[in-house]
């Protein structure tokens, strides 16, 4: 047994920050950012935390699914920019939406939403849970170094959520995990042990952009092709590709490798949102869903990559 998506929701903080706005803080410009990344603006929180944004997305997904919070059996959340290490984001959202079910977080950076889908499918297969809420929510603006032009231009804030129930619409996944912190990391730097002798890390996003780019353009097509082979699916059968929104050039490079899928099937909202890490996939799914773009039965590849390093591709029937 796998799952069916019952409903989707998302939330963006109201402030939209353009590339020209960012050029007031760091030595950059709209032309560089838009041609190298496809990003023109991103939403940035001014007075809302990741859990508050996540709760708003969750409530919208519940409404879309037509169920109440107390009908949920499990809440899974993902974030790299939550306001606490303890309690979990899932517990904060559980209380905010008035749910009473088990709730815990899954950590897998930008791949986390698909890791949660994989986990939810396994839980639903046990028959123990029937309604699972997944939330990806990020306040990336609070974990960026706003003097580092190589990272602060890329990310945005926002949240997305889906509600799942048992069904037959999760058709498979293929993934690769390569442990290591060199390419992409976000250290924690809390406490003040008088016994600690080593240097304390900088607790903001650190990224080797070139290496991340190479990893993504190599592994995303590789995992999608492996997924299609594993599930006996032809590229021509795919109606939509929902890729992690990190850089439009990465999405375009993946599209060039998958020649059997028309370029217009690769969905994108990165121009207005930037990279919202664990929230990119549910945000994009919700926006396209609300625009009425998806028809029941549409076949979609959903693919994500990120810190870990990790890359995962999943096949879903809408």
Pick the closest to residue 112 from 123, 104, 101 (CA basis): 104
Query: Which range binds ligand UT7 by CB under 6 A, 41-49, 76-84, 145-153, 193-201?
Result: 145-153
Mark 199-238 with x for binding to ligand UT7 (rule: CB under 6 A) and - for no binding: --------x-xx-xx--x----------------------
* One of 40, 130, 142, 149 touching ligand UT7 (CB under 6 A): 149
Binding mask 10-29 for ligand UT7 (x = CB under 6 A): ------------------x-
Token code pair at residue 282:
């549910």
| DSSP 8-state code for residue 279 | G
Please measure the distance between the N-terminal and C-terminal CA atoms of the chain and give it in whole angstroms: 16
Catalytic residue among 110, 152, 243, 311: 110
**CA-CA distance, 269 to 280, in Å (whole number)?**
9
Q: Is 101 a catalytic residue?
A: no
Active site residue 244: yes
| 32 forms part of the interface with ligand UT7 (CB under 6 A) | yes
**Per-residue 3-state assignment (H helix, E strand, C coil) for 73-130:** CEEEEECCCCCCCCCCHHHHHHHHHCCCCCEEECCCHHHHHHHHHHHHHHHHHHCCCC
Is there a contact between 174 and 148 (Cβ–Cβ < 8 Å)? Answer: no
Question: Could you say whether residue 247 binds ligand UT7 (CB under 6 A)?
Answer: yes
In angstroms, what CA-CA distances link 258 with 220, 228, 235, 241? Answer: 10, 11, 8, 10
* 107 to 136: interface string for ligand UT7, x by CB under 6 A: ---x--------------------------
Q: How far apart are CB 32 and ligand UT7 at their closest, in Å?
A: 4
DSSP 184: E
- Closest to ligand UT7 by CB, 2 or 41: 41
Q: Which is nearer to ligand UT7, 138 or 287 (CB)?
A: 138
**Residues 206, 275, 289, 311: which is the catalytic one?**
275
Nearest approach, Cβ of residue 80 and ligand UT7 (Å): 10
**Active-site residue flag, 289:** no
User: Is-contact 6 62, C-beta < 8 A?
Assistant: no
What gap in Å lies between CA 229 and CA 227, rounded to an integer?
5
Residue closer to ligand UT7, measured from CB, 94 or 139: 139
Give alpha helix (H) positions in the chain: 19-22, 30-37, 50-65, 89-97, 112-126, 209-231, 248-257, 270-273, 280-290
At its nearest, how many Å lie between ligand UT7 and the CB of residue 187? 16
Residue 180 touches ligand UT7, criterion: CB under 6 A? no
Token representation of residue 145: 């170094």
37 binds ligand UT7 (CB under 6 A): yes
Residues forming the active site:
110, 244, 275
Footprint on this chain of ligand UT7 (rule: CB under 6 A): 28, 32-33, 36-37, 110, 149-150, 153, 207, 209-210, 212-213, 216, 246-247, 250, 275, 306
């Amino acid at each position: 047994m796998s799952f069916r998506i019952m409903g989707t929701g998302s939330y963006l903080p109201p402030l939209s920050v353009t590339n020209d706005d960012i050029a007031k803080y760091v030595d950059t410009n709209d032309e560089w950012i838009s041609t190298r990344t496809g990003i023109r603006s991103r939403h940035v929180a001014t007075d809302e935390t990741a859990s508050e944004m996540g709760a708003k997305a969750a409530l919208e997904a519940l409404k879309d699914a037509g169920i109440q919070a107390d009908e949920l059996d499990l809440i899974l959340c993902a974030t790299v920019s939550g306001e606490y290490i303890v309690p979990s984001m899932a517990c904060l959202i559980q209380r905010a939406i008035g749910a009473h079910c088990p709730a815990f977080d899954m950590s897998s950076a930008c791949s986390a939403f698909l890791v949660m889908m994989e986990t939810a499918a396994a839980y639903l297969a046990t028959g123990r849970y029937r309604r699972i809420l997944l939330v990806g929510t990020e306040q990336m603006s609070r974990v960026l170094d706003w003097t580092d032009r190589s990272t602060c231009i890329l990310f945005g804030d926002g949240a997305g959520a889906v509600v799942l129930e048992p069904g037959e619409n999760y058709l498979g996944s293929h993934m690769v995990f390569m442990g290591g912190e060199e390419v992409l990391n976000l250290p924690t730097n809390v406490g003040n042990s008088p016994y600690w002798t080593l240097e304390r890390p900088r607790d903001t996003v650190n990224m080797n952009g070139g290496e991340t780019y190479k990893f993504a353009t190599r592994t995303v097509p590789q995992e999608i092709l492996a997924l299609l082979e594993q599930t006996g699916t032809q590229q021509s059968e795919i109606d939509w590709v929902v890729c992690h929104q990190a850089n439009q050039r990465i999405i375009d490079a993946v599209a060039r490798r998958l020649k059997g899928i028309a370029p217009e099937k690769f969905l994108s909202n990165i121009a207005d949102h930037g990279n919202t890490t664990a929230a990119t996939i549910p945000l994009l799914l919700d926006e396209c869903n609300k625009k009425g773009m998806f028809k029941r039965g549409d076949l979609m590849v959903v693919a994500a990559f990120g810190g870990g390093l990790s890359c995962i591709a999943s096949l879903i029937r809408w």
